[in-house]
Amino acid sequence: MSRKDDGDIFVWITHDFLDVKQVMDKVRSPRCGAIVIFAGTIRDNFQGKEVKHLAYSSYETLALKTMQTIAEQVKEKHGLHKVAIVHRLGVVPIGEESILIAVSSPHRQAAWKGGAEMLELVKDRVEIWKLEEFGGEEGGVWRANRDGQAGVKVSGGTLDDARQLDPPAGGGLQDHTT
């Protein structure tokens, strides 16, 4: 697990099951009347195809720095009290969470807006990729961590081949960081 906790900002990347209550407790405060949590759950389909599971890979050191920067900026912009960003790596089965975003604020509007903005920035900028394995197909598709941005077919690959969880060689993965 890679983790950075600085008191009011908690960012971490793990291969373990994500515990919603643990993350909610990280941002809980008697000074706050609102906690907003987003739990990104693996669904069983994507664009009409059956999804077997997803596998996530990351450049962890850089991803943690990017997550920290996003957390700091959004926390300040919206006047949030505490924020947490947690992303899971490795194979994530259908129905389990791959990402948790939690924010606390004295008032709900700041929490809603800040949580939504944080999620979009994480999906757009953080150096995490996913391998989608579809039912009835060999290999998988690498994608940036934003829905709808197609990656490349992993030729002849299976999830077993991708257990190393490195993005495809040769620059096949699109860079969507800004």
Q: Residue ranges of the alpha helices (H) in the chain?
A: 20-27, 60-78, 108-125
At 115-134, the pLDDT tens digits run 999 999 999 999 999 999 99
Domain ranges across the chain: 2-164
Is residue 108 marked as binding? yes
Domain 2-164 -> CATH class? alpha beta
What pTM does this model have?
0.79
Is residue 113 marked as binding? no
Is residue 100 marked as binding? no
Q: What angle do CA 167, 122, 149 make, to 5 degrees?
A: 50
- Taking the mean position of all CA atoms in its chain, how far away is CA 117? 13
User: Average pLDDT, whole number, for the chain?
Assistant: 84
Is residue 119 marked as binding? no
Is residue 131 marked as binding? yes
Q: Select the more confidently predicted residue: 163 or 91.
A: 91
Name the strand (E) or helix (H) holding 8.
none
pLDDT band, residue 3 (cuts 50/70/90): low
Return the DSSP state at 50.
E
Is residue 123 marked as binding? yes
